[in-house]
């Protein structure tokens, strides 16, 4: 059994100051995918993670303190790929992949689009180009786990007050249309294979006590390709883990 977590830490150095390392040692996943580390290699207390038994792989944005992703794994990766071969996205440090003997894991930080205008266009471009990258990749690596902050609520039940959010980036009709197409391509939402009820979220605004009132969004996912669908043992969300405005989402695969 492999336990895989995905967590947008909203700054790994800030999370470490909030006892992230102690939590990780107790949680003890086989793999954890991080987004928004907001740090360069050498700035992330890598040796402390290594002392917990993790191999630390990271890919950082050119711009300091921005975006950036990482994969930590107990098992050494057979190969690590940084980026998707497109400088438009790779300069922002949005995607890293680690290949293992049984499957490959991707940690992805999708653009938010919340500032609108050009960044929403950039987000939609990323959705199309990342999908094309994955569709080609799975021809050679069919067993993929695509973990990360997708910055999109997939379903009506994945966001509080959906009626009022339809003009908000992250729940726009065209974003949800992309997500449905993504699922139709054979990418499986592991959480929704296990849990069908509403009010399960992975991100909350810092404003107006949103987290305490559970007025959130489910925008963090562990998606898997079809060959791993029957390997999903369990999946869930850890809303009480509070190093960030996000919380971790987890998946157990029977591999």
108, 148 Cβ separation under 8 angstroms? yes
The number of C-alpha atoms within 13 Å of 187 and in the hemisphere containing its C-beta is: 22
Identify each DSSP E strand in the chain by its residue range.
Answer: 2-8, 31-35, 55-59, 69-73, 79-82, 95-99, 104-109, 144-149, 187-189, 203-204, 216-217, 220-225, 232-237, 249-253
Residues assigned a catalytic role:
149
Q: How far apart are CA 81 and CA 97, in angstroms?
A: 5
Say how many residues make up the chain.
255
């Amino acid at each position: 059994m492999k336990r895989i977590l995905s967590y947008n830490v909203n700054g790994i150095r800030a999370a470490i100051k909030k006892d992230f390392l102690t939590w990780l040692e107790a949680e003890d996943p086989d793999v954890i995918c991080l987004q928004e580390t907001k740090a360069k290699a050498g700035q992330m207390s890598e040796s402390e993670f290594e002392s917990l038994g993790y191999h630390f792989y990271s890919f950082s944005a050119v711009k300091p303190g921005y975006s950036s992703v990482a994969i930590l794994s107990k098992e050494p990766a057979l190969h690590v790929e940084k980026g998707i071969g497109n400088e438009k996205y790779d300069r922002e440090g949005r995607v890293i992949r680690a290949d293992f003997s049984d499957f490959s894991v991707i940690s992805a930080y999708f653009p938010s689009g919340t500032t609108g205008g050009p960044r929403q266009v950039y987000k939609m471009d990323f959705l199309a180009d990342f999908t094309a990258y994955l569709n080609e990749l799975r021809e050679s690596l069919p067993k993929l786990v695509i973990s990360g902050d997708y910055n999109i609520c997939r379903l009506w039940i994945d966001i509080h007050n959906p009626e009022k959010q339809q003009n908000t980036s992250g729940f726009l009709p065209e974003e949800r249309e992309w997500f449905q197409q993504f699922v139709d391509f054979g990418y499986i939402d592991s959480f929704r294979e296990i849990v069908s009820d509403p009010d399960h979220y992975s991100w909350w605004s810092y404003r107006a006590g949103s987290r305490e009132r559970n007025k959130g969004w489910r925008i963090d996912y562990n998606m898997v390709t079809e060959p791993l669908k029957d390997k999903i043992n369990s999946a869930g969300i850890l809303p009480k883990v509070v190093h960030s405005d996000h919380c971790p989402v987890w998946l157990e695969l029977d591999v």
